[in-house]
Structure 1
């Protein structure tokens, strides 16, 4: 990408952290906010572990609890649970689903590592997605019920148990589930007992259609840069699990809307005009859960996870596998919580000696985690012995 101006604004790393904390609602929880607003601001909440998503959202909305989040998801339906960036389970604002599906369905597919005799052909993929869309148009089905209907609408090849998964084998058609969600044919429904169900987002958002790809991708870049900028096309590609060359071309196509800034001698991008420093320096202590988007979406990793933090809180360079202790916007430890009834045992492992002020902030954070998860927390400062989440 070409430099369109010789005078490149400069931001310090502290400025970058301050901007991100503020825009994520992590400086201070948003008062009178809604879960959907918080999720929109951080570009989705990772929800493979739903309790982690509840903490991510609760930290950003004053007074919110897990019940608040569940009501937004299953009663108000202002949130939708679906497959989001990287093909992983996310909560997204229902009103934004046209943008998300329009953008995600336009991302070039990753290379399928499965053998040729296991993979779906493009034609079979389209057939499976069409079958899912037709089946879920007016239904909430478990995975087994959905699979049986897909087989009826496609053929026995769809249910061949050929995909290795969790010490067993999944049917072939399940390779297309995240694509069905990205194309707007599938989302999660309410649990039926202990069983997960799936349904159509058409049932939640009347008249829903994925947005045009070009508009949706431009909108997603703008939102990502607002929450995580300054950032490069490579950072965006990693967050989205997209090819780097494709992301670079996408940023090039939006060059008139973007502006370069310099952070620590490196160039990165923000939306045009969005070059102001943070209004406050990064400060405070936060306990961020598994896969919180502040840590997953923010770069450079070597600055966000300085020194020992990278060795302790990253898994093969991947962020999110450990809940992290955040001090002044940077990772400074890990933590873990174990629940037994209403009791929450929270162990925090700082990588630096906490000041008296930081210890008070930590106590407040532990109390807030207890409020969000509707439990009675007890803090232990010590070594976290639990490994990273897969």
Structure 2
């Protein structure tokens, strides 16, 4: 992957959270000079240098297509954790394997909507897979859908281009099966290069795995212990050089930006009042944030109206004249990425998290 490309940026981020696709487009384009949302869309649906699939924490992410074998290898190694459904909802290990195999077979020939995929899975496995027993968004989903994240982690499917308003699923790029040298250790190495120094607890939280499993992985990898923020932490062996100067500048980061989700310790990233304003029950990413010198210093919100985008920024403390000019530049960049004319308001953000 080349530096300065969407795939290069997403690889350096260890994936871009894409539950809200517009936020993912903004996250990636902000890291590339001159890029817009169209740049990211072309990389995903045109050149296919990016893929959309389930990544860390089982959530939807953009990943570099070239890295998919590593991700499939690493995610396939993870211990299964997640929602604990009642016994009458859960699938057995054998049933899960059948569903994963059915999904892979169904998308091999063409892109399918969720309903079309469901019909194919039930036809291949049996009526039990279609039982409407899984609570989801004020409705009930068929039993087989609880295996979607597992199937994605095994490389059975990736997301395809939308068919109208409907999501589609398709086969992953050729060569997705993992190589023998890839796996969780390689993912840990890349995570630490991006977000280290870090602890097993940090990594477990980011990947949504048991802390004990993460601790064993750290112990087996080629790492180096350092002191960071008054605590022992780890980096890739030899990766101990630190920047000579602390981060400077003003940035506007969207929902679930990788820096917000992976950045720890939280008390350094969200100092003082920032924790109460920009974290949601301790969870990062539900608010788009204003960064000043690498720390959360406020929240912001954008609202699209035709060719305009209205940006409201709520700083937690007054900005200096120099910082205000930097904010103006950042808002202009947001407008460029969104291909809209930006209008800035400094004032309270009244929308709730993830709005």
What range is the shorter-chain TM-score in? over 0.9
**Aligned residue pair count:** 354
CA contact (8 A) 1:32 1:62 kept: no
Q: Counterparts in 2 of 1:118-129, with a 5 A limit?
A: 118-129=89-100
User: Residues 378 and 141 of structure 1: is their aligned pair in 2 closer, same or farther, counting only changes over 3 Å?
Assistant: same
Equivalent residue, structure 2, for 1:229: 196
CA contact (8 A) 1:183 1:210 kept: no
Over the aligned positions, Cα root-mean-square deviation in angstroms equals 1.2
CA contact (8 A) 2:107 2:171 kept: yes
- In structure 2, C-alpha distance between the alignment counterparts of 1:189 and 1:32, rounded to whole Å: 25
Q: Counterparts in 2 of 1:17-32, with a 5 A limit?
A: none
Is 1:68 matched with 2:39? yes
Q: Counterparts in 2 of 1:156-171, with a 5 A limit?
A: 156-171=127-142
Q: 3-state SS of the aligned residue for 1:215? A: coil
Equivalent residue, structure 1, for 2:186: 219
Q: 3-state SS of the aligned residue for 1:33? A: coil
Structure 1 consecutive aligned stretches of length 4 or more whose deviation exceeds 4 Å: none
Equivalent residue, structure 1, for 2:88: 117
Uncovered stretches (5+) of structure 1, i.e. residues with no partner: 1-30
How far residue 134 of structure 1 moved from its aligned partner, in angstroms, is 0.6
CA contact (8 A) 2:226 2:233 kept: yes
- In structure 2, C-alpha distance between the alignment counterparts of 1:226 and 1:78, rounded to whole Å: 22
Equivalent residue, structure 2, for 1:306: 271
CA contact (8 A) 1:35 1:69 kept: yes
CA contact (8 A) 2:69 2:175 kept: no
- In structure 2, C-alpha distance between the alignment counterparts of 1:121 and 1:342, rounded to whole Å: 51
CA contact (8 A) 1:112 1:119 kept: no
Equivalent residue, structure 2, for 1:145: 116
Equivalent residue, structure 2, for 1:79: 50
Equivalent residue, structure 1, for 2:303: 338
Residues 157-201 of structure 1 deviation map (CA, whole Å, 9 limit, x = unaligned): 101111111110011000000111000001100000111000010
Is 1:207 matched with 2:189? no
Equivalent residue, structure 1, for 2:165: 194
CA contact (8 A) 1:184 1:210 kept: no
Is 1:318 matched with 2:289? no
- In structure 2, C-alpha distance between the alignment counterparts of 1:211 and 1:322, rounded to whole Å: 38
Residues 248-270 of structure 1 deviation map (CA, whole Å, 9 limit, x = unaligned): 0000011xx21111123211001
CA contact (8 A) 2:3 2:9 kept: no
Residues 23-72 of structure 1 deviation map (CA, whole Å, 9 limit, x = unaligned): xxxxxxxx971100000001000001111011101110000000000000
Is 1:38 matched with 2:6? no
Q: 3-state SS of the aligned residue for 1:353? A: coil
Q: 3-state SS of the aligned residue for 1:326? A: strand
Uncovered stretches (5+) of structure 2, i.e. residues with no partner: none
- In structure 1, C-alpha distance between the alignment counterparts of 2:229 and 2:61, rounded to whole Å: 32
Q: 3-state SS of the aligned residue for 1:96? A: helix
Q: Which has the higher contact order (CA 8 A, sep 6+)?
A: 1
- In structure 1, C-alpha distance between the alignment counterparts of 2:82 and 2:255, rounded to whole Å: 27
What TM-score, normalized by structure 2, do the two folds share?
0.98
Q: 3-state SS of the aligned residue for 1:230? A: coil
Match of 1:374 among 339, 348, 351: 339
